């Protein structure tokens, strides 16, 4: 399983230390939530912050753009160190072109869908996507409650990917914790964004270890 801690709910007065902690931890990717106050009701951080924290770690930066017109900022995100760039289906009328643009920048391309968006809208584009990000909360804030209705979507998406022989990864974002990760694994998820469950713990590095060593009883077949 791929663990992608999100720094959104971390203490930003300690940002450098948090990144160093993640760098030394068993985390696989570092998930960066970029919000514009337009597509989502919150504003987070942008390129100058990514550029500075890039120096502190070699872990891949998994950039989640919750912004309108993401195509305007792809190259800039890549230039400050994004390894994968995920855009929202709901704001990309020319999704194929946007994905090509991400690939041309040299980054992996992800597409995120909101809780109410069916996975089937991605049928004709799956072939060129590296990551499908299933939002399991309404995007905008960390620390929200997991929406359980998204679980059947993970299962359906896994079946779609298997039918296409696609190697795209399924990433789940929002409200993920030790209490629900197993069911997500069983339904076919590969990568997990975890914010609050890690950063609200007094020992975040220990928490990361717990996530990385979840016993796997059954996996999706």
Q: Are 145 and 137 in contact (CB under 8 A)?
A: yes
Q: Does 64 engage in binding with Zn ion (CB under 5 A)?
A: yes
Of 175 and 204, the one with the shorter C-beta distance to Zn ion is 175
State the minimum distance, in angstroms, from the CB of residue 130 to ligand DX5.
Answer: 18
Q: Does 176 engage in binding with ligand DX5 (CB under 6 A)?
A: yes
109 binds, among ligand DX5, Zn ion, none (CB under 5 to 8 A by kind): none
Q: Does 190 engage in binding with ligand DX5 (CB under 6 A)?
A: no
What are the angstrom distances between the C-alpha of 111 and each of 84, 172, 179? 10, 12, 26
Of the residues 33, 36, 171, 190, which one makes contact with Zn ion according to CB under 5 A: 33
Of 84 and 123, the one with the shorter C-beta distance to ligand DX5 is 84
Q: Does 193 engage in binding with ligand DX5 (CB under 6 A)?
A: yes
Please identify every residue annotated as catalytic: 33, 173
Vertex 71, ends 69 and 73: CA angle to 5°?
95
Q: Does 196 engage in binding with ligand DX5 (CB under 6 A)?
A: yes
What are the angstrom distances between the C-alpha of 31 and each of 3, 7, 106? 9, 7, 18
196 binds, among ligand DX5, Zn ion, none (CB under 5 to 8 A by kind): ligand DX5
CA distance 154 to 86: 17
Of the residues 143, 156, 205, 214, which one makes contact with ligand DX5 according to CB under 6 A: 143
Of the residues 62, 71, 173, 190, which one makes contact with Zn ion according to CB under 5 A: 173
CA dihedral 66, 90, 28, 189 (to 10 degrees): 150
Judged on CB neighbours under 10 Å (0-12, 13-18, 19+), 166 is middle
CA distance 78 to 75: 5
Coil vs helix vs strand at 111: strand
- Contact footprint for ligand DX5 (CB under 6 A): 6, 8-9, 31, 33, 64, 66, 137, 139-140, 142-144, 173-176, 193-197
């Amino acid at each position: 399983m791929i663990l992608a801690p999100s720094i959104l709910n971390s203490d930003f007065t300690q940002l450098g230390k948090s990144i160093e902690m993640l760098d030394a931890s068993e985390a696989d990717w570092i998930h960066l939530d970029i919000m514009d106050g337009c597509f989502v009701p919150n504003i987070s951080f942008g390129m100058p912050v990514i550029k500075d924290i890039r120096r502190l770690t070699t872990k891949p930066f998994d950039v989640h753009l919750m912004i309108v017109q993401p195509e305007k900022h792809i190259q800039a995100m890549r230039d400050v160190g994004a390894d994968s760039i995920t855009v929202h289906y709901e704001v990309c009328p020319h999704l194929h072109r946007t994905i090509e643009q991400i690939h041309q920048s040299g980054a992996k391309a992800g597409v995120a869908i909101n809780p109410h968006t069916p996975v089937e809208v991605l049928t004709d584009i799956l072939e060129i996507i590296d990551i499908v990000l299933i939002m399991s909360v309404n995007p905008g804030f960390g620390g929200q409650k997991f929406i359980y209705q998204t679980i059947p979507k993970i299962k359906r998406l896994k079946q779609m990917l298997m039918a296409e022989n696609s190697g795209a990864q399924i990433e789940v974002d929002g409200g993920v914790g030790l209490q629900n990760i197993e069911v997500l694994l069983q339904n076919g998820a590969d990568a997990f964004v975890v914010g609050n469950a890690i950063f609200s713990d007094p020992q975040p590095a220990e928490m990361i270890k717990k996530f990385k060593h979840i016993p796997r009883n059954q996996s999706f077949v």
